[in-house]
Amino acid sequence: MTPERKIPERRSRKARRTRDTLAQAAFELVLDRGLRNVTVEEIAEAADVDRRTFSRYFPSKEAAALDSLRGDGDRINAALRARPAPEPPLLAYRRAVLDWLADPEAEAWHRRPRIFELLVVAEEEPTLYAVFHHIRVDAQEDSIAIVADRLGVDSRQDIRPAVTVAAGAGALLAAQAAWVRGGRPDALPERVVEAFDALAETAKEAWAAGAAGAEAREEAAETEATP
């Protein structure tokens, strides 16, 4: 490797370390003292940088505190890409989430120290929850592209990828909310299975009701048409 190539790589590693240090400082301060009792200046000081450096990496203390969650969407999407092509898209999404939860190297939320606490705080703090929402939306956009590739369609023209991801991500969000409110840090996998099972059952019931309604309308139309 030439010296010219080493310099940008060193800078990149240094930038990554600085970002991670800021994120960890924000994470710990927010959990230890509460979001409203922490300033950006205090986060920067804890990371041994100045306020301007903080602003180069994060737009807010909320973004810094939640930065460690961004990689989880990437891990779920990597698992989604790896699912067998014949799997129906929603089933593939469900199994991708379960793969993420089961992979010890992925360090899903229930395995990472204090992530449960962070999501409890996010449920209580609107500005923190808003950033969490944006993180989820970013991950969902990538999921939509993956599902569109699996179906061989253009997601701008075909609504199925977006509907699939909205349903799957909605189940995951419901599971996360139930997990946080349930008070059991180890229960996330159970809540995820429950949420996706509930989604499947609700879809089944809706399909059955729709089919029954269509049949009733057909019978009524035939009756009206009979002289």
Are residue 37 and residue 100 in the same domain, yes or no?
no
Residues in the chain: 227
Q: How confident is the model at residue 219 (pLDDT cuts 50, 70, 90)?
A: low
- Whether residue 115 contacts residue 109, with contact meaning beta carbons closer than 8 Å, is answered with yes
Are residue 11 and residue 110 in the same domain, yes or no?
no
pLDDT at 216 (0 to 100): 45
User: Rounded to an integer, what distance in angstroms lies between the CA atom of residue 47 and that of residue 27?
Assistant: 11
User: Rounded to an integer, what distance in angstroms lies between the CA atom of residue 3 and that of residue 14?
Assistant: 16
| The one-letter amino acid at 179 | W
Residue with tokens 């990472």: 112
Q: Does the pLDDT value for residue 95 go beyond 90?
A: yes
For residue 172, how many other CB atoms are within 10 A of its CB?
24
Q: How many domains does the chain have?
A: 2
pLDDT at 183 (0 to 100): 86
Residues with Cβ within 8 Å of residue 173, at least 6 apart in sequence: 136
User: Rounded to an integer, what distance in angstroms lies between the CA atom of residue 210 and that of residue 217?
Assistant: 11
Residue 90 belongs to domain with CATH number: 1.10.357.10
Q: 33 burial class (0-12, 13-18, 19+ CB within 10 angstroms)?
A: exposed
Q: What is the pLDDT of residues 133-171, one digit of tens each?
A: 999 999 999 999 999 999 999 999 999 999 999 999 999
Q: What is the pLDDT of residues 10-24, one digit of tens each?
A: 778 899 999 999 999
Q: Please, what is the Cα angle at 37 between 33 and 39, to 5 degrees?
A: 115
Domain span including residue 211: 67-225
Are residue 71 and residue 55 in the same domain, yes or no?
no
Spatial CA neighbour of 93 closest among 206, 196, 178: 196
Sequence-ordered alpha helix ranges (H) in 103-187: 115-124, 126-151, 160-182
Are residue 79 and residue 56 in the same domain, yes or no?
no
Are residue 138 and residue 210 in the same domain, yes or no?
yes
Are residue 122 and residue 141 in the same domain, yes or no?
yes
Are residue 77 and residue 112 in the same domain, yes or no?
yes
User: Rounded to an integer, what distance in angstroms lies between the CA atom of residue 108 and that of residue 10?
Assistant: 29
Is the CA virtual torsion 124, 129, 132, 137 positive or negative? positive
* Eight-class DSSP state of 69: G
Q: Which two tokens stand for residue 50?
A: 């100045």
Q: What is the mean pLDDT of residues 105-134?
A: 93
Residue 20 belongs to domain with CATH number: 1.10.10.60
Residue with tokens 């929603």: 90
